[in-house]
Structure 1
Amino acid sequence: MADIITIEGGIEIPQSDVISVFSDTAKLQPYIDRVRDEVSTEKIDLTTDKSRKAIGSRAHKVSKIKTALTKIGKDSVADLKKQVLEVNAGVKYAEEKLSQLRDETRKPLTDWEKEKERLEEIEHQKEEARIQAIQDEINNIRNFAVLAGNESIEHIAGLIEALDTIDPSEGFDEFTQDALVAIAETKGELAQAMQAKITERQQAEQQAQLQKEREENEKLRRELAELKANAAASKAPPEATINQTESRADLQATQQNVDNLQRQIDQDKQCLAHADGQAYHQGKKELDENQARLDRMKSTLPKLNILAGKKPPAVINQASVTVEFTEYQKGYIDALEQYAHWKDGVMYVGTGGKTLTEAVSEFIASNKTVA
């Protein structure tokens, strides 16, 4: 015979039916209705103390039945809850062990992937460093044209020549075209700056020459006025003396203009050697004009010598001019230092493996003076 669970009120539930009853409210409802019938048989009377106590007793009875009935339901699943906890623990154990086994199985591949990522990151950093180094060199090229404003013509010429030593086909890789553009644009800017300096120098020298000529002419005018006054006082014919004095003044002024213009032409030739583009064409035009002017001046010297009472020279000697390129060398060396970069504790110039010290020494040895 099946085990029967009995609680207060004569309620009986077969042990085998407990889970089925509590799993279906339709099966549970008859037990609840039985309790209701048992406590609802008496008529409610609140006029007497006995009746009121009877109502309270019936409510207490319902409470006791509730506690007993729900305990049956809870007890019926206690073992099931324990089983669920045990199953959950087993599931967790299986998950942990199999995850560990999975990771151990995959570890060689995981280690290989991590090493691959590490090596790729190293290569990526090397590539970024390589590109940055090239960009820095291109920026250094463009920095040649960043001038303070007080550089001499020779200094700028040295910068231009230093640019000409940079070989854009070496070390710039895929940025060779960028290097070519940077060199061309920087040389153009430096050529413009040098042309502006040449024009500024020419204007200053012309103003100084004009002032000097005005002062000398004023001195000659005073001398002529004095000669005329002395000739009038002595009643001697002054014309020959006066004319000769005037011719000597013309000779002196013309010779001085020839010397000044010759120096200017020598400087223009030097600067023109480093110019290109518009600056070269403008400089060449001015050089040709000055040369033609110099030739015209020289052609008048023999006649002026005769008028001044001097024997005309058979040959007009021109002393060779030796120009010391102190500023030029300084500009070139500054450019080398600006373009140089550090590598392993040594400063190198460009990408050819030449140290800064070697480059400076070679330049000084080959550019001591320019005749």
Structure 2
Amino acid sequence: MIKAKAYAAQNPNETLAPWDFARRDVGNHDVQIEILYCGVCHSDLAQINNEWFPGVFPMVPGHEIVGRVTKVGDHVKKFKVGDLAGVGTLANSCGHCQHCEDGLEVYCENGVIPTYNAIDKYRDNLPTYGGYSNTIVSDESFAVSIPENLDLAATAPLLCAGITTYSPLKHWKVGKGHKLAVLGLGGLGHMAVKFAVALGAEVTILSTSPHKAADAEKLGAHHFVVTSDAEAVEKVKASFDFIVDTVSAEHDFDFYLSLLKLDGIHIVVGIPPEGILLKNVGMLQLGRKSIVGSASGGIAETQEMLDFCAEHQIVADIEMIEMKNIHSAFDRMAKGDVKYRFVIDMSTL
């Protein structure tokens, strides 16, 4: 076993604190990665607090992991010692269902194994531990190569916030000739804007906060609409082909569906705890509109996304923090007080 250090929650709702534990030894198809940076996702806080389901404790959060390969198994082909590598939201899947064979491991028919807060039923029935740690061992098929020309720290959030917004844009073939609205300008939203602009769409940010207009312009958005401004909203009624919805709080789906044109698609990537409440089903029927969901992409698509980012020089806008400041970062993140993703410098562990 490999000695490792981390910040972990020993029980639900507890403060993260230093924890020594053991990673599995490097197997024939594994890579060991020295973690240099790890992004902070809102889901880290949600899972520590058991907001979605009972967690596996002790819990080491973190699934936006980048670093350098320090050891490879005897049969590893994708990596060599010294390579930059990353691990995102997935640790394992069954590997043999149709979705896995199609490179869509995140939709594994037999259940995907997340990078943390899970028991790996396909390998050893042991808990998975995430990236708030100094090292991680991953099967090479669930690790991705990080292009050398990208800022490494700012690349970390691409492994969740990035792929979660890139995947639906590619799946629904968003590009030139499309009008797309991004709902919510946070960690996910700012990445959705960058990708949609790079893909050639005409991008509008929908926001409740007028002061975010300057940020929208800096990110490359073509338009900015304050949703409390009735006159501005009227101008964009029935005008969008797509809405990418990144909001993880209760919001009015009927209102946003009214902004879609015929055959418009409302793509849900945020996770509102109250779920989706739709009062006017006729809004769907009379506009032949759709509400759809999308999870983070598969491994091949994540690598495609990273290569796209390297080509277009896209990374996340980040604020670097020390490990000891993780709870103040959680507090600020819950208030939306970050532009747009916290990243932990793991040398401070």
In terms of Rg, which structure is larger? Answer: 1
- Using structure 1 for the length normalisation, give the TM-score: 0.19
Tell me which protein shows more strand as a share of its residues. Answer: 2
- Using structure 2 for the length normalisation, give the TM-score: 0.20
Tell me which protein shows more helix as a share of its residues. Answer: 1
